[in-house]
Amino acid sequence: MKYTVRKSFVQVVGTIWMPATTAAYEYPLRQYDIDNIKALGNGKLTRRAVQLWTDTNTGDFQSIKDFSASIEDGEKTRNFPWKHEESECTFNDCMYPSEDEYEDAAVAYEEQRIEEGQRRWAETGTSRK
């Protein structure tokens, strides 16, 4: 027996709230979301309708710079590619950092945790909150 899994999603690149920096995320779409996008497009899946949906459903972002979407609509798949080629590169850089960038971030995080523990120890005599 063979099964085909079809998924709908919107990939976004934009500026998050805090810290205000460039970030990326892939929002999975449920049928409810697809129906809402269609309602925004007067019954049709359009790029403008997807943009309106991202404006009201991507609360982690203060602004969306660009998006890409793949939406299953019945037997059809509607694809909305990135408006700007560099947006796809930014999305991939944010979602899949190089091994060096990942290790640097992990080391910086661990150093921050150690500094916080030392500060707490100096203030309270314990490293726990």
Read off the pLDDT of residues 104-123 as tens digits, 9 standing for 90 and up: 766 777 777 777 777 777 77
Does residue 3 fall inside a structural domain?
A: no
Q: How confident is the model over 46-104, as pLDDT tens digits?
A: 999 999 999 999 988 999 999 999 999 988 999 999 999 999 999 999 998 877 766 77
Contacts of residue 27, defined as CB under 8 A and 6 or more positions apart, other chains included, come to 9, 10, 11, 12, 33, 57, 58
Distance, in Å, from the CA atom of 13 to the CA atom of 26, rounded to the nearest integer, reads 9
Domain shared by 21 and 32, yes or no: yes
Domain shared by 76 and 22, yes or no: yes
Q: Residue 104: which domain range? A: 98-129
Domain shared by 88 and 118, yes or no: no
Domain shared by 67 and 113, yes or no: no
Domain shared by 84 and 118, yes or no: no
Domain shared by 90 and 107, yes or no: no
Model-wide pTM > 0.85: no
The count of domains in the chain is 2
Does residue 2 fall inside a structural domain?
A: no
Domain shared by 129 and 75, yes or no: no
Question: Locate tokens 């700007």: which residue?
Answer: 84
Q: Which helix (H) or strand (E) holds 6?
A: none
Domain shared by 77 and 63, yes or no: yes
Does residue 67 fall inside a structural domain?
A: yes
Domain shared by 116 and 88, yes or no: no
Question: Locate tokens 């190089």: which residue?
Answer: 98
